[in-house]
Chains A and B, each alone.
Chain A
Amino acid sequence: MNLNMNSVESLVAQIQGLSGNIGELTQLRNYLKQCDDMLRTESTRLAPLLTELDPSVHSLGYLYILEACTSGTISKDQDQANELVLSVARFINVCAADQIRLAPDKFISICKKLKEQVVFLEDPMRGVAPLLTSIRKLQSSTEQLTTLHPDFLLLCLMSKCYKTGLSVLEDDVFEVDQPRDLFLYCYYGGMICIGQKKFRQALELLHNVVTAPMPIISAIAVEAYKKYILVSLIHLGQFATSFPKYTSSAAQRNLKNFSQSSKNQLYAPACSDRLLHVCMDLASSTFSKQYDSGVFFSRLPVVAKFTHLCDFVYEQPYLELVNSYSTGKVSEVENYVQMNKDKFENDNNLGLVKQVVSSMYKRNIQRLTQTYLTLSLQDIANTVQLNSAKEAEMHVLQMIQEGDIYATINQKDGMVRFLEDPEQYKTCEMIERLDFSIQRIMMLSKKVTTMNEVMSCNPSYLGKVRIRLGGSGRDLITTISTPFLLNSTYEEGEKEKHGASNDL
């Protein structure tokens, strides 16, 4: 007992003493790692220690202790849960970012605990702000995707704080810790954008999930694919069943099978609804518990096989919807939706499907702007298969307000006059827009070049290249230095050229 108290006190002392600069902090971190087991066993008695430490100064130590306190299953007790939420939220707000970055997994662990508690308390909005702060503190740059991003987006979805979610989605993401994080991030992100009717962005995010490199098909990709089909219909009015070349072969194989004819449904009776739910549960449980992507993927073959079979039945309606959409007849699409309502509802996509149907009217009216200069409302109603001129007027009015078409309605004659796009591309704003685009692309190009250079210095890459080239050192140098020579316009390139040849 004494020993324990001593060690605990010494721990506090260490923390207080070593929280000065980065050197001390590394020392502290090593020390804390050693004490980790001890902390865990003493978890119940660590609460009073927290009061002795100042979270903003001794963030690292505080973090370790806090994490030990909150480890274990989430409490079902309302008060305790509340307490935990408050304490973690407080910590997140005041902690020092550089300190917690030394122990990222601990930090992630407490944030996830926070999320679980908030969900348990059925008040997801309480978790939104803390998680947003935690993301900003954990990220080393705005381009990095952390494990907390998907959790944050999930809370935004559950609490319907879409705008906050959008603010995070605005950042470009280039670095990813875990592929699974990316999939979930894009999937939830897609859903948020759909909620805000930003279909172009949603399409982009969902596209990233569907075409991401994955050795085995993941259930997230399957769900994302369904939404992808629907959003593609709404935004583009069509859907191409062929995948781009860079899609992983696993995705191509599995998702392509869904577009085969209904004779595949012969295999469907083998799986039942229950089986589908079992494998979906399996999939979702692996998402929430496992961090290590290795484990995730290894569990998935079982899941994949079942989802593969089951989805024969459940993907069919989407692709058939695409077919009936392409006929251009609204009544047909509506009938189809009506018949398959349950399937869409099971996937929680019914709202989206309804939007698909209403987008058909829009598209048909847009097509009319290409052929007609003026058209009577009655003719519009007839062509687009609406019931009356009044309905046509409402649709046209809505489209004008949303900026989908340019037109004027003459109510006296019941005529609509379609106008050209008034954009003349002569304004300052347009020039600024062009300039901004150019700058962005230059920035991206620079990024690609940097990536290329970094890759060229990678030892494993060099090893492979050497094998391919047959081992001549001279050839190797030429291959490596070519990208640097090409970049002689950049000053950094000059330095790195010398640096690279020195390394060799």
Chain B
Amino acid sequence: MEPEDNAAGPVIGDEEIHANGRDESDSQRHRPIISGEQLDIEAYAALYTGRTKTTRLLFIADKCGAPSMELEALRMAYDEIKKGEDTQLFREVVGKINGRLGPNYGLDDAWADAVDRRAESRKDKLENELNAYRTNLIKESIRMGYNDFGDFFYAHGRLGEAFKNYVRTRDYCTTSKHIIHMCLNAILVSIEMGQFTHVTSYVGKAEQAVDGLDPVTIAKLRCAAGLSHLEGKKYKLAARKFLEVGPELGNNYTEIIAPQDVATYGTLCALASFDRSELKSKVIDNTNFRNFLELVPEIRELINDFYTSHYASCLEYLGNLKTNLLLDIHLHDHVETLYEQIRNKALIQYTLPFVSVDLNMMANAFNTSVTGLEKELEALITNDQIQARIDSHNKILYARHADQRNGTFQRALQTGNEFDRELRAMLLRANLIKHDYNLKAPRKY
């Protein structure tokens, strides 16, 4: 679909005032699969591997609010944990299930104890090996020893110790591949722990080891960087990072992020923070990113709608996606802010080309009431994001451009007055100080 479809745009004349964004003929083209349905947990969980799968399932169970979904998520989490070795998490999940899923999903003490015993013995073995390596002072084996330790702790859910061990391998890294390996592990654990400052620093470290970088790793590092920016609420930087992720990522980083997520996060951040030209060049015309967008067709439609000013359908998509986005562990606390920013941008973009706008039509385009719209516009005008004034009587918005000449005169006079005032005050103060100084000076008479 051509982005500049509506270049002719609505014309203000008595015969044909089009409502911008509500073109009836287009609506048939735009009836895609709106995924406002309940999240298909199995399909969602299938996108991920490793610990993040469990974490996400547990998060969904906590936040979804529908008992059927909750139980489904918990059941899947239980199955997943049983495949692993984290008994702490196991007990947690069992506690949450609370017997609701029947006897098969109860506290399996036998399994838990067996796993713990195995863990103890493995830990001892690893420790002995590590000590042996340390006495031998073979760098490579020490590094492998620490790595194994890190993996062990990670599998058992002791993330702090896992992180410490991964970081300890830094002293024994000899090639860039080792460094990158260490960084990726550190990043993985930090993301899970929620310490995104470490993520940023380790991404930086990894990117410095240039010769070890293959496209997949680069993509992974960009995803991680994007995630840390997102958490830091730096939406513009996050968007840029996500949009730079190459298609080589594929399914290689499912222990943290799925390619659908890259598309979603990237698009939403871009919509909220990019201006129009950047949006076109970096998102819509971005061939690499197109691969990701194909995975989430609603997001693709959303962004095209926004660019072509079909705000009503764009906002409709957003609304539908909202419930599911609130279940995402990384995005949930940013959804509100991003949505608000996107809506504000839509409002601003709507009013930009016009000298006067009928508020009734605008309210229709945005699916809101005139009073509500007036309030929103008032907020935007007060923040100087829209240069316009509202004619509340006739419900029209008039664009208003400040008169440069008058403004200049006013400012000049004001500056003159201020200068006058400041100078007089300064002379007075100088006089006072001189007086004080004269007092302290030795008197001649």
Contact = CB atoms under 8 A, between A and B. Distances in A.
Interface of A: 172-179, 182, 204, 207-208, 211-213, 215, 246, 293-294, 367, 370-376, 379, 413, 415, 418, 420-421, 423-425, 430, 433-434, 437-438, 440-441, 444-445, 447-448, 451, 460
A29 to B, nearest CB: 15
17 contacts: A176-B431, A208-B428, A212-B429, A246-B426, A293-B439, A294-B439, A367-B382, A370-B389, A373-B389, A373-B392, A375-B392, A425-B410, A434-B412, A438-B416, A441-B416, A444-B423, A460-B437
B393 A374 contact: yes
Contacts of B423: 441, 444-445, 448
Contacts of B390: 371-373, 375
B435 A179 contact: yes
B390 to A, nearest CB: 5
B419 to A, nearest CB: 6
Nearest to B421: A204
Contacts of B409: 425, 430
A10 B34 CA distance: 117
Nearest to B431: A176
Given A293-B439, A376-B392, A448-B423, A370 B432 contact: no
B430 A451 contact: yes
Given A212-B428, A444-B423, 14 more contacts: A174-B424, A174-B428, A176-B435, A179-B436, A182-B432, A208-B428, A370-B381, A370-B389, A372-B390, A373-B389, A418-B389, A425-B405, A451-B430, A460-B437
Interface string B397-413: 01000010110011011
A448 B381 contact: no
B138 interface: no
A371 B419 contact: no
B135 interface: no
B432 A179 contact: yes
Contacts of B392: 372-376, 379, 415
A370 B439 CA distance: 53
Contacts of B426: 246
B420 interface: yes
A444 B436 contact: no
B413 A433 contact: yes
A451 B426 CA distance: 12
Contacts of B391: 372-374
B427 interface: yes
Contacts of B405: 425
Given A176-B435, A413-B393, A460-B441, A451 B413 contact: no
Interface in B163-220: none
A213 B439 contact: no
B281 interface: no
B328 interface: no
Contact of A372 (B389, B429, B432): B389
8 tightest CB-CB pairs across the interface, nearest first?
A425-B409, A373-B391, A373-B389, A374-B393, A437-B416, A371-B381, A375-B392, A444-B423
Contact of A444 (B378, B403, B424, B429): B424
Contacts of A441: 416, 419-420, 423
Contacts of B419: 441
A451 B389 CA distance: 51
Contacts of A293: 439
A246 B382 contact: no
B417 interface: yes
B413 A371 contact: no
B394 interface: yes
A176 B381 contact: no
A215 B439 CA distance: 13
Interface string B131-158: 0000000000000000000000000000
A367 B389 CA distance: 12
A437 B406 CA distance: 17
A425 B409 CA distance: 7
A211 B389 contact: no
Contacts of B412: 434
B417 A437 contact: yes
Interface in B370-398: 378, 381-382, 389-394, 398
B389 A371 contact: yes
Contacts of B355: none
Nearest to A176: B431
A212 B439 contact: no
Contacts of A367: 382
B427 A174 contact: yes
Contacts of B420: 437, 440-441, 444
Contacts of A212: 428-429, 432
Contact of B425 (A178, A211, A425): A211
Contacts of B421: 204
A213 B425 contact: no
Contacts of B433: 213
Given A213-B432, A424-B406, A425-B406, A374 B425 contact: no
Contact of A376 (B393, B424, B428): B393
A371 B390 CA distance: 6
Nearest to A208: B425
A501 to B, nearest CB: 24
B375 to A, nearest CB: 10
B417 A371 contact: no
Given A372-B392, A373-B389, A176 B382 contact: no
A211 B429 contact: yes
B413 A434 contact: yes
Nearest to B425: A208
Contacts of A182: 428, 432
Most buried by A among B412, B421, B431, B435: B431
Given A176-B435, A373-B391, A424-B406, A451 B381 contact: no
B427 A451 contact: yes
Most buried by A among B393, B405, B426, B430: B393
B385 to A, nearest CB: 12
Contacts of A371: 378, 381-382, 389-390
A214 B441 CA distance: 17
Contacts of B378: 371-372
Most buried by B among A172, A213, A430: A213
Nearest to A372: B390
Contacts of B382: 367, 370-371
Nearest to B395: A374
Contacts of B410: 425
A367 B390 CA distance: 13
B279 to A, nearest CB: 28
B313 to A, nearest CB: 29
Contacts of A437: 413, 416-417, 420
Nearest to A440: B420
A177 B438 CA distance: 11
Contacts of B431: 174-176
Nearest to B412: A434
A213 B436 contact: yes
A246 B429 contact: yes
A423 B406 contact: yes
A222 B297 CA distance: 67
